[in-house]
Chain A
Amino acid sequence: MLWWGKEMNEWQVLHASDLDFLLENSSSPYDYSGDNNESEYCCGTPPCSQDFTFDRTFLPVLYSLLFILGLLGNGAVAAVLLSQKAALSSTDTFLLHLAVADMLLVLTLPLWAVDAAVQWVFGSGLCKVAGALFNINFYAGALLLACISFDRYLSIVHATQLYRRRPQARVTLTCVTVWGLCLLFALPDFIFLAANHDERLSATHCQYSIQQVGHTARALQLVAGFLLPLLVMAYCYARILAVLLLSRGQRRLRAIRVVVVVVVAFTICWTPYHLVVLVDTLMNMGALARNCSQENHVDVAKSITSGLGYMHCCLNPLLYAFVGVKFRERMWQLLIRLGCPEQREHVRQLSRRDSSWSETTEASYSGL
């Protein structure tokens, strides 16, 4: 199957003149007589054309919305965490990295919005970078969620063993490992993503220029970057829930609520997309009946449900940070400092002991 490799043009048009020459000079007899030929025209189905009118308006709007929400929400989380003078706890460090990963992911959305509205106009270089950045941060998000669940699992289920806070160095090492792994997972993207002119779509898009070779790499990527974190999360939160249900205490209900909300949000955001992908696969395998309009319906469903999935990046700050009372207080403090100069003066007097470094930190808040 190498004959249609990269050097082969993926599309070849023959005009009537070429064909006349070809068919007249050919000695082979044809499979048709003039009569049944007409009936062949009636029964042969015309080719489908993929209809992207929905995507052209829906996706740019959705991506712009997610871009703004994601930057604001995650930016707020990062600002609050960075404004803390005390050393960050392990969960807070993971949250900070999660916010950065989510922000980097939504930063690529404007490019995809243009791609959905028109076509990929940014060339192969930016296709590789944006595609890799998108995947790196998607997987970094999944791995960091797993880290957070493991961290909570350690502190709730094995509270006695790990009463002391873990050394900061170990947390930093975990984060470095997470980012390193994600860079490794993105290698296939750097190699195989390219701006291709897809003749079936009659447009240029940023896509994988692979057939079989890259599938193994992408399978590894999926297992290590998505399924593994998912299993870790499921196990940790199940154990945590088991402990919480047995325990008594004022905070018990609240803690259970947080765990349930986190798992439910992840499920709600990603299950519909996976169901649609399943239907699509069944159709491709021939297990479900297919026709042009059904395929277009599936494409629309895929756009909507993947948007729901990306929305999870904007939910993370709400779920992990703003649910905490301490976090909300800190946020209000920041807003008050930003909003009213008098209050700000008041706050400053309260925290006289702060060094001059706080001035520069304050300056960075205005970026929000």
Chain B
Amino acid sequence: MNVKGMTTVLAMLFYAIIVQGFPMFKGGRCLCRDHGVKAVKVKDVEQASVIYPSNNCNKIEVIITLKAHKGKRCLNPRSKQGKIIIKRAEKIHFLNSQNV
């Protein structure tokens, strides 16, 4: 019997159940599958959303909605453009919270 394999499987199950719990307490998965594009043309951008880590996704994600129904793209949050957008989002959030 492969004890090592069994232990690995059990350990992973254990980890998975701790992290996920029952499906009723569901959280959204990460939306982006890969690192995302490095940059997009600024004039094509309709909207940029910065989504912060949550229970089920431990990374920050930047999603760009393109103009003219070109759809949405994941922007690499570590690229220069990504970093600038995240910084901007933080600033706007800070300003909003000051007003409140």
Whether B60 pairs with A4 at a CB distance below 8 angstroms is: yes
Contact mask for chain B residues 24-58; partner A; CB cutoff 8 A; 1 contact, 0 none: 11111111111011111110011111111111111
Per-residue interface assignment for chain A, residues 1 to 42, with 1 indicating a CB less than 8 Å from any chain B CB and 0 otherwise: 101100111111111101110110010101110100100110
Contact of B27 among A11, A115, A198, A274 (CB under 8 A): A198
Query: Taking CB as reference atom, which chain A residue is nearest B50?
Result: A12
For the complex, count residues of B whose C-beta is within 8 A of A. 67
Scan residues 208-255 of chain A and give those whose CB is less than 8 A from a CB of chain B. Answer: 208-211, 215, 218-219, 222, 227
A281 is an interface residue with CB less than 8 A from chain B: yes
A37 touches B41 (CB 8 A): yes
Interchain CB contact under 8 A, A37 and B13: no
A47, B88: Cβ atoms under 8 Å?
A: no
Contact A200 to B29, CB < 8 A, known contacts A37-B41, A222-B14, A278-B13? yes
Given the known inter-chain contacts A16-B47, A19-B42, A306-B22, please indicate yes or no for A10 contacting B52, CB distance below 8 A.
yes
Instruction: Tell whether, in the assembled complex, residue B38 and residue A18 are in contact, meaning their CB atoms are under 8 Å apart.
Output: no
Q: Which B residues are CB-close (under 8 A) to A41?
A: 37, 40, 66, 70, 73
CB-CB contacts of B1-38 with A at 8 A, as 1s and 0s? 00000000100111111111111111111111110111
Query: Are A14 and B23 neighbours in the complex by a CB distance under 8 Å?
Result: no
A47-B37 contact, Cβ under 8 Å, with A11-B52, A306-B22: no
Judge if A290 is at the interface, Cβ distance under 8 Å. yes
> Given the complex of chains A and B, what is the CA–CA distance between A290 and B30 in angstroms?
12
Q: Out of B13, B74, B79, B89, which one reaches A47, CB within 8 Å? A: B74
* Majority secondary structure of chain B interface residues (helix, strand, loop or mixed): mixed
User: B55 contacts A207, CB within 8 Å?
Assistant: yes
Residues of A within 8 A of B72 (CB): 46-47
B54: A residues at CB distance < 8 A = 10, 196, 198-200
Say yes or no: is A295 at the interface (Cβ < 8 Å to chain B): yes
Contact: A295 with B16, CB < 8 Å?
no
Interface residues on A, range: 35 or more
Per a CB cutoff under 8 Å, which of B22, B51, B52, B74 touches A46? B74
Which chain B residues lie closer than 8 Å to A50 at the CB level?
A: 28-29
Closest residue of A by beta carbon distance from B74: A47
CA distance A3 to B87 in the complex (A): 12
Residues in A whose Cβ lies below 8 Å from that of B88 = 14, 18-19, 22
CA distance A46 to B66 in the complex (A): 11
Q: Do the beta carbons of B29 and A208 come within 8 Å of each other?
A: no
User: A222 and B18 in contact (CB under 8 A), knowing A30-B80, A209-B55?
Assistant: yes
**Residue in B20, B33, B60 whose CB lies within 8 Å of A277:** B20
Tell yes or no: A291 within 8 A of B by CB: yes
Contact at A281–B12, with CB atoms within 8 Å? yes
A49 interfacial by beta-carbon distance below 8 Å? yes
Residues from chain B with Cβ under 8 Å of A26 in the complex? 84
Q: CB-CB < 8 A to B84: which residues of A? A: 22-23, 26, 28
Closest residue of chain A to B20 (Cβ to Cβ) is: A277
Shortest CB-to-CB span from A367 to chain B, Å, is: 28
With A8-B52, A200-B27, A201-B28 known as contacts, the answer to whether A19 contacts B45 (CB < 8 A) is yes
Chain A residues with Cβ below 8 Å from B26 are: 201, 205, 207
Q: Is the CB of B27 within 8 A of A205?
A: yes
Which residues of A sit under 8 angstroms from B19, Cβ to Cβ?
215, 281
Give CA–CA (A193, B25) in the complex, Å. Answer: 9
Chain B residues near A303: list those with CB within 8 A.
23
> Could you say which residues of chain B place their CB within 8 Å of the CB of A312?
none
Question: Which of B34, B45, B54, B93 has the largest count of A CB atoms less than 10 A from its CB?
Answer: B54
Contact between chains at A37 and B73 (CB < 8 Å): no
Q: Does the CB pair A31–B80 fall under 8 Å?
A: yes
Flag if B52 contacts A37 (CB, 8 Å).
no
Asked if A150 is at the interface (CB within 8 A of a chain B CB), the reply is no
Decide: A13 and B47 in contact? CB cutoff 8 A: yes
Additional pairs, 16, CB under 8 Å, beyond known A12-B93, A13-B48 = A1-B53, A8-B93, A10-B54, A11-B50, A12-B49, A12-B50, A12-B89, A14-B88, A19-B42, A31-B39, A41-B70, A44-B34, A211-B53, A222-B17, A280-B20, A281-B12
Jot down 21 A-B pairs with beta carbons below 8 A, ordered by A.
A4-B52, A8-B52, A10-B51, A13-B49, A14-B89, A15-B46, A19-B42, A19-B85, A23-B81, A30-B81, A32-B41, A45-B33, A46-B74, A47-B63, A198-B28, A199-B49, A206-B25, A207-B26, A208-B25, A215-B19, A277-B17
